[in-house]
Amino acid sequence: MTDPTPSAEPYDTAETKSSPDGLLPGLETAGSDSAPPPLPRVAGYEIENELRESGALRIAGVDEVGRGAWAGPVVVCAAVTDLSPPPELPGRGKRKVRLTDSKLLTEAHREAFAEVLPGWLASYAIGSSPPQEIDEVGMTEALRRAAVRALKALPEPPDLVILDGNNDFLKRPWRVRCEIKADQRSVTVAAASVLAKVHRDRLMAELDPEFPAYGFGACAGYPSPVHQKALEHHGPTPHHRMSWSYLDDLPQWRHLKKHRDPLAGEGQLSLI
User: Residue 118 in contact with residue 110, Cβ under 8 Å?
Assistant: no
- Is 64 annotated as a binding-site member? yes
**E runs forming strands in 109-264:** 123-129, 160-164, 176-179
Element (H, E) at 140: helix 139-152
Sequence-distant (≥ 6) Cβ neighbours of residue 265 within 8 angstroms: 137, 138, 140, 141
- CB burial class (10 A; 0-12, 13-18, 19+) of residue 74? buried
Element (H, E) at 49: helix 46-53
**E runs forming strands in the chain:** 59-65, 74-80, 89-90, 96-97, 123-129, 160-164, 176-179
Sequence-distant (≥ 6) Cβ neighbours of residue 140 within 8 angstroms: 169, 265, 266, 267, 269
Q: Which strands sit side by side in the sheet containing 123-129, from one edge to the other?
A: 123-129, 74-80, 59-65, 160-164, 176-179
- Is 164 annotated as a binding-site member? yes
- Is 208 annotated as a binding-site member? no
List the binding residues.
63-64, 164
List the binding residues for a divalent metal cation.
63-64, 164
